[in-house]
Amino acid sequence: MRAWTLVLALASLGIPRFAGAQAPPPLDKAELIRLLTNPLFAQTEVAEVVRRSCLTFRPTERDWADIRYAGANGEVIASAAACDSRRASPPAPAAAAAEPAPIDIAVAQPADIVMTAGTPASVRVRLSRGRTPVRRATLVLRGSTSLGLPRDVSAVTDDSGMAVFVLPPVVEPGTHRFEITGSSGSTFPGHPGVSLTVRPGEPGRLRVTPDYIASPDRGATIVATVTDSLGNPLGQESVELNLGSGAPLSAATDSAGRASFVLTPTALPRAGGTLQVRVRKLAPVEVPITDVSGLSGPLTGFVVSGPRRGRVASPLSAPLVFRARTVQGSAAVGHVVRFRAANAQIKPDSAVLDSTGLVSVDVIFGARAGEAMIVARIDSVERLVTLPVDPGPIVSLLLEYGGRPVTGRRISVPVATPFELRLTARDLYGNQAPIDALGQMLRSSRPPVTAQSDLQLDLMNLDVGDSAVLITLKARRLGMYDFTVGSGITTSVGVTAIAK
């Protein structure tokens, strides 16, 4: 079916078919563009017509631009570029007709790449001489410094003639075009290139202003701003505003990622109600309706007082205190504060502000050393605090040799050759605990380090750090020894000294 379509379309273009081995007449520029813009043709079919017919003209820079604009892909451009070499080759004698010398053709596969902001991309380019792949050739993407690279990215072709360029993640949306060149800046016929289009990602953040509506009797304008996780605005994103009754209002964001809703006083709920703004894949944002005593963002949050760190699985020595104030600076009495935590337990998870606008929350740290995060939400205001979590006391020691744990095992080492063991400590929950105190004790007092069989293991060096102690030993003679280190809490490893 496709072959008949091609024949009919060629006839409609005024291109006669020739029987047998007779070559069809070459295409002029108008005929080539008509083929490229005809939806009946695939790019591979257009490339085949160009290979068989060739062109009546030698494309200029403007011609190449027009051909690419008409939709020519890398295969069509490579076929058109090959016509130059066939045209430039001198005619061979009839008795000894020879093929024209092939030229190097570079084809991007594909030539148009679309990627999401913040994700890496790769470009594949095939380099061939005629139909033979060109191996171990260096290609360059000229213009790729626009992605923030210090120099244009390059790649070397493999045995199949394929070069793979790895591009860095690009944060800002936009379109970039790169030309494929040789390592010395030499160009290829048709100036093949790659078009990289960077689009914003999925919705990652929804910001709504104002934070609250303090005077519903005056109406309000709600502005929702939608961006991806990198802060790029998302246009044509649907935003819904739920007024609490009736069908929700919807609007599409503009090119700056903003959608606006102008609300009359009659459309707004009464004081104490809320509006809810939604965007796909994101948690809804609530806009409370208050009286003139709305919350003050700068004056609402956790109060810095008392200790702010503790050990794993232990309570914070004093409760956290959360404070809320209105825009007039008075205590926000009666508002409900909701708490949630990561790597911690909290009590209570919600509470009502007292007459001073304060509420306290008890914290018990989780089992992971590092940080705990406590989040408080009151109306539309959300505040968080991070608390350092220290590891617990040392309950076990671990030995490593060659990057592998060897506690309670046996290792083989060359006799009379220094070897190194790495000593670390763990708390009850598996967190790495500081070992510097034990290391200093080992450095000042050798008895906690012992080796059986008349001390045939020499202690050569101790290198003490905050998180590990490096122990360098050497076996004097061939044999099997037990090495133990520690004080109170100990760990050991069997050592077999073998011939070098």
Domain layout of the chain by residue ranges: 2-88, 104-199, 205-288, 301-390, 396-498
Q: Is there a shared CATH topology between the 104-199 domain and the 396-498 domain? A: yes
Cα(259)–Cα(460) distance, integer angstroms: 71
Return the higher-pLDDT residue of 17 and 275. 275
Measure the CA dihedral 274/276/282/283, to 10°: 30
pLDDT, residue 230, reads 87
Lowest mean per-residue pLDDT among 10-19, 211-220, 380-389, 426-435? 10-19
CATH of domain 301-390: 2.60.40.10
pLDDT, residue 197, reads 93
Q: Max Cα separation, the chain?
A: 108
pLDDT, residue 23, reads 62
Confidence at 99, pLDDT banded by 50, 70, 90 = low
Q: Helices in 405-495 by DSSP H: which ranges?
A: 436-444, 452-455
For residues 98-116, give the mean pLDDT: 78
pLDDT, residue 28, reads 84
pLDDT, residue 316, reads 93
Strands 432-433 and 174-182: unpaired
In CATH, which superfamily holds the domain spanning 104-199? Immunoglobulins (2.60.40.10)
For residues 357-375, give the mean pLDDT: 94
Confidence at 104, pLDDT banded by 50, 70, 90 = confident
pLDDT, residue 111, reads 84
Q: Which residues in 394-468 belong to E strands, given as ranges?
A: 396-401, 404-405, 410-414, 419-426, 432-433, 450-451, 457-464
SS3 384: strand
Percent of the chain whose predicted confidence (pLDDT) is above 90: 41
Q: Looking at the predicted structure, is the pLDDT value of residue 250 above 80?
A: yes
Cis ω before 210 (30° cut-off from 0):
yes
Measure the CA dihedral 204/210/212/218, to 10°: -140
Burial class (CB in 10 A: 0-12, 13-18, 19+), 167: buried
Q: State the CATH class of domain 205-288.
A: mainly beta
Return the structure tokens found at 14.
Answer: 């005024």
- Residue burial 414-438, b: 16+ Cβ < 10 Å; e: rest: ebeeebebbbbbbbeeebebebeeb
Beta bridge partners of 420: 472
pLDDT, residue 178, reads 93
pTM above 0.75, yes or no: no
For residues 101-114, give the mean pLDDT: 82
Report which of 389, 395, 396, 338 is spatially closest to residue 366, judged by C-alpha positions: 389
SS3 32: helix
Cα(239)–Cα(249) distance, integer angstroms: 8
Confidence at 422, pLDDT banded by 50, 70, 90 = very high
pLDDT, residue 5, reads 43
Write out pLDDT tens, residues 158-204: 999 999 999 999 888 999 999 999 988 888 887 888 999 999 989 99
In CATH, which superfamily holds the domain spanning 396-498? Immunoglobulins (2.60.40.10)
Task: Give the highest mean pLDDT range of 185-189, 306-310, 495-499.
Answer: 495-499
Write out pLDDT tens, residues 267-290: 887 766 788 999 998 999 988 776
SS3 265: helix
Q: Looking at the predicted structure, is the pLDDT value of residue 216 above 80?
A: no
Confidence at 455, pLDDT banded by 50, 70, 90 = low
For residues 350-361, give the mean pLDDT: 90
Write out pLDDT tens, residues 140-156: 999 999 988 899 999 99
Lowest mean per-residue pLDDT among 305-309, 337-341, 420-424? 305-309
Q: Looking at the predicted structure, is the pLDDT value of residue 221 above 50?
A: yes
For residues 108-136, give the mean pLDDT: 88
